[in-house]
Chains A and B, each alone.
Chain A
């Protein structure tokens, strides 16, 4: 598992210690996500990995799993920053 994925999983598990979540599990399907947690998740990803998530990337499919969030981070880190 990559460091990015483990950090994302660590954040989710920290918020929901009683849940068992894998890198490919859909956290939306598990019923974890509300607007508060979504905001926290976006802030965590931006802060931890030093990226700014543009509006067009704030799609549900990018946040379903640790895998998809990790891919989003990799994609953003590979792209030049847009103001």
Chain B
């Protein structure tokens, strides 16, 4: 593996305190985020990365893949609770939540589609955070249009040879293993590619609009030789299901993070509105500000309920969870973008500065409308559901 074009960070981000308790639910997640994440998130944003110490704290808290079963080193956490946990992380830092999202996608894919040997090799390391995963789907010429990917995996000598370029890979600068989607002769396959495999080249992408500390990268694969067991899941017509299922979890986590952004906007705006006065009157007493706050409260609750319903359906193994997750992600991400804009508006010039976190929320929220399927793709899919279920 080669790394090119590494830019020095703007400043070394601060080191969070030691972890004293594992995260098992929303309450413990909130405590973890309030102690270890939220106070430093603006510094991470400015530094363009999260420090290794925070990644270790996340591991100590058992946050990397708590949904994995205990025999794989996880805690068997249900999806409703995982959604609540990712919401809390997203409330504090969308960049860290993004790292959790792609790691979740890699870990779940191994657990769901991997052979017993593949699960034994990767799942415990994913659960412990000893190996961090990243998700490689988008390319320079293909984002939400997954049918346009051109990276290929050709069968050769009993294994595979991978060629292509992946872009906008969250956590790519740091991940130890990449879950790469590539064209095979039959369809699209999922391949686990360790970072140190010869022919893998990582180019950091810095200075993005939002989630600036999520350590994005462009990953090139040049004649990368992989063993036969690098392929995860079935080949043939159902290979697309691996991608569908992986993206479903990505959307679920992004929806949760978006709810967290709305909640963060609400908390920041309510605090600011209570303390800031205009003509001797607190902003919180002004009807136009009250309207913004009331909409934040309402949408936070609505988005949270949509997320919880998608999680409940996942826990029940119900097929309808996929569409429920589309709806939750669409609603929550648009709400996050809308309310982050209003949060900046409430803060006025202060909201445009680095003195308050709402500018970061605003930049991060825009990203939520694009990743794991743009909102335009989401609306097409949701409308497609309405069309296929019509009875007339």
Instruction: Sample 30 A-B pairs with CB under 8 A, ordered by A number.
Output: A16-B389, A18-B390, A18-B391, A35-B240, A35-B241, A35-B243, A35-B244, A36-B244, A36-B322, A38-B237, A38-B238, A38-B241, A38-B244, A39-B244, A39-B319, A40-B320, A42-B238, A43-B318, A43-B319, A43-B322, A44-B319, A47-B316, A47-B318, A47-B319, A55-B113, A55-B234, A58-B234, A58-B238, A59-B237, A63-B238
- A residues within 8 A CB of B236? 58-60
Known: A35-B240, A55-B234, A60-B238. 20 other contacts (CB 8 A): A15-B388, A17-B389, A17-B390, A18-B390, A18-B391, A35-B241, A35-B243, A38-B238, A38-B240, A38-B244, A40-B322, A41-B319, A42-B238, A42-B241, A43-B322, A47-B317, A55-B113, A55-B233, A58-B234, A58-B241
Secondary structure type dominating chain A contacts: helix
Q: Give me the 10 closest cross-chain CB pairs, A-B, nearest first.
A: A35-B240, A40-B319, A47-B317, A58-B238, A43-B319, A58-B234, A60-B237, A39-B244, A55-B234, A17-B391
The CA-CA distance from A83 to B233 in the complex, in Å, is: 15
The CA-CA distance from A34 to B238 in the complex, in Å, is: 10
- B residues within 8 A CB of A43? 317-319, 321-322
Q: Would A16 and B322 be within 8 Å (CB), given that A55-B115, A55-B234, A58-B234 are in contact?
A: no
- A residues within 8 A CB of B248? 39
The A-contacting residues of B in range 222-245, CB under 8 angstroms, are 233-234, 236-238, 240-241, 243-245
The CA-CA distance from A41 to B234 in the complex, in Å, is: 15
Q: Report B347-365 CB contacts with A as 1/0, cut-off 8 Å.
A: 0000000000000000000
> Is B281 interfacial (CB-CB < 8 Å)?
no
- Chain B residues within 8 Å of A, Cβ to Cβ: 113, 115-116, 233-234, 236-238, 240-241, 243-245, 248, 316-322, 381, 388-392
Q: Would A39 and B316 be within 8 Å (CB), given that A55-B234, A58-B234 are in contact?
A: no
The CA-CA distance from A38 to B236 in the complex, in Å, is: 12
B389 A15 Cβ-Cβ under 8 A: yes
Nearest CB in chain B: distance from A44 CB, A: 5
- A residues within 8 A CB of B317? 43, 46-47
- A residues within 8 A CB of B388? 15-16
The CA-CA distance from A49 to B243 in the complex, in Å, is: 24
Nearest CB in chain B: distance from A65 CB, A: 14
The CA-CA distance from A16 to B389 in the complex, in Å, is: 6
The CA-CA distance from A41 to B318 in the complex, in Å, is: 10
Nearest CB in chain A: distance from B108 CB, A: 13
B384 nearest CB neighbor, chain A only: A36
A50 nearest CB neighbor, chain B only: B317
- A residues within 8 A CB of B233? 55
The CA-CA distance from A35 to B317 in the complex, in Å, is: 17
B232 nearest CB neighbor, chain A only: A55
- A residues within 8 A CB of B319? 11, 39-41, 43-44, 47
The CA-CA distance from A11 to B319 in the complex, in Å, is: 10
A39 B381 Cβ-Cβ under 8 A: no
B388 nearest CB neighbor, chain A only: A16
The CA-CA distance from A81 to B152 in the complex, in Å, is: 35
The CA-CA distance from A18 to B389 in the complex, in Å, is: 8
Q: Report A16-39 CB contacts with B as 1/0, cut-off 8 Å.
A: 111000000000000000111011
The CA-CA distance from A39 to B241 in the complex, in Å, is: 5
Nearest CB in chain A: distance from B330 CB, A: 15
Nearest CB in chain B: distance from A68 CB, A: 13
The CA-CA distance from A34 to B241 in the complex, in Å, is: 9
Q: Which one of B319, B320, B391 has the highest number of Cβ atoms from chain A below 10 Å of its Cβ?
A: B319
- B residues within 8 A CB of A35? 240-241, 243-244
B113 A39 Cβ-Cβ under 8 A: no
The CA-CA distance from A27 to B392 in the complex, in Å, is: 20
Nearest CB in chain B: distance from A58 CB, A: 4
- B residues within 8 A CB of A34? 240
Nearest CB in chain A: distance from B349 CB, A: 46
B322 A39 Cβ-Cβ under 8 A: yes
B245 nearest CB neighbor, chain A only: A39
- B residues within 8 A CB of A39? 241, 244-245, 248, 319, 322
The CA-CA distance from A83 to B69 in the complex, in Å, is: 13
